[in-house]
Structures are given as structure tokens and as C-alpha cells.
Amino acid sequence: MNKIVFATNNAHKLQELREIVGEKFTILSLNDIDCHDDIPETCPTIEGNAEQKARFIKDNYGYDCFSDDTCLEIDALGGEPGVYSARYAAAGHDSEANMRKVLDKMQGVPMEKRTARFRTAVALILNGELHIFDGRVEGHILTEKHGDSGFGYDPIFQPDEADGRTFAQMNADEKNAISHRGRAVKKLVEFLCK
Ligand code: IMP
């Protein structure tokens, strides 16, 4: 069977992908190939970072590979946090601090100007060729947190095409059906399984 690496150790993302892809590919994690490197993500765009991670695995471990990278773009903040979404407030992944920084910087911004979007890029290197798949979801940044599911900025992001709930007020299936990552991954899976 074809082996392909998903450049992540996120158990939730892996499980989801393995279920969707089925028998056609064996999806390996970074742990599965004994990769414990600090993979560089030094590009100014999510597309560049996703490609950089996938190429790192191909070049150093020889496997075909795909990798995802996501950003939140807030119009009133000139596109911030952008590629710095994970470490907006400080190094590391402190979601509470990141959301606090966003809410502080947006104090006084009226709802019609609180537009934002999540964007995901998935980079696949298969048989020596690069393929990029994208996904996005438009929404608004609320003035306070609502809900406690999900992760990251979910409690302050209200997708426009839902019923007024934030991502953190949805279950995983509801979120995946309209989310940036769900949409990019759907394109990847359609390509791999066609
Ligand atoms: P990553 O590229 O998937 O690691 O995402 C970078 C950062 O964007 C994460 O650390 C989160 O802060 C944020 N993020 C990514 N996806 C989501 C999401 O689905 N909901 C909320 N925040 C997210």
C-alpha cells in the first residue's frame, strides 16, 4: 500500500484523515517515521510554510508527504495575526493570551468592521510534484468569548454561514463541514482518492 506522511502528531487530525482516506493510503505521523525534529516554518505565507514542512520530510526522510498551515486574518487589524496566529501574544501556543490580545486591540471596533477569515493551505508532495489545496471560512470576531469546544480562536470566531454560534459552540462535525481546514482537507482527499 502507498505510504504517505501527514506532517503532524495531532491525534485528532490523524484519526480524521485516516477515516476519510480509507484503504488507498497508509497515513503515517511524524512519530511513526521517528521524526522529532523542530521542522522549520520560516515563510511569510501559510502556503510557503506548508510547502516547507512537506519538503523537509521528503528531503530528510524520503516519504511523500502533506502538511497543513492555518492563519486567522482580521481586517480591522490589517490582516493580523496572520502567519503568526499560533504565537501572536507570545512564543508557544497560548490561546487565552492570543484571544485577549485580539479583543484588547479591537476594543471599540463596531461589529460591521469586525470581519475576519480563517485560511488553511495544505501542501502535498507526491511523486516529486507539489500540489496546494486551500480552504477558507469568512466570519466576525465577537467582543467576548462564547463556548468551550474546539481550540485556538474558536470562542471568538463566528462563521457567517452558521446560525450565530461560534466555532466553540459547535460539535466537531458541524465545524468540519464549513471550516477552513475541513474544506482544504476535502480537496486533498478528493485528489488522493480520485
Ligand atoms: P496550525 O497551522 O494548524 O498550527 O494553526 C496555527 C494557529 O492558528 C493555531 O495555533 C491556532 O491558534 C489557530 N487556529 C488554527 N486552526 C484553528 C481553528 O480551527 N480554530 C481556531 N483557531 C485555529
For helices 180-193 and 11-21, the axis angle rounded to 10 degrees is 40
Any ligand 1 atom below 6 A from CB of 73: no
Distance (angstroms) between ligand 1 centre and the Cα of 1 equals 31
What lies within 8 Å, CB to CB, of 92 at 6+ separation is: none
pLDDT in the model for residue 65: 97
Which residues of the chain are modeled with pLDDT < 50?
none
Any ligand 1 atom below 6 A from CB of 88: no
What lies within 8 Å, CB to CB, of 170 at 6+ separation is: 147, 149, 150, 162
Radius of gyration of the chain (CA): 17
pLDDT in the model for residue 166: 98
pLDDT in the model for residue 18: 85
Check 37, 38, 59, 69 and give the catalytic one: 69
pLDDT in the model for residue 92: 79
Retrieve residue 177's grid coordinates. 463541514
pTM exceeding 0.85: yes
Partners of residue 25 on adjacent β-strands = 2
Distance (angstroms) between ligand 1 centre and the Cα of 11 equals 15
pLDDT in the model for residue 25: 87
What lies within 8 Å, CB to CB, of 184 at 6+ separation is: 68, 120, 121, 122, 133, 134, 135
pLDDT in the model for residue 1: 65
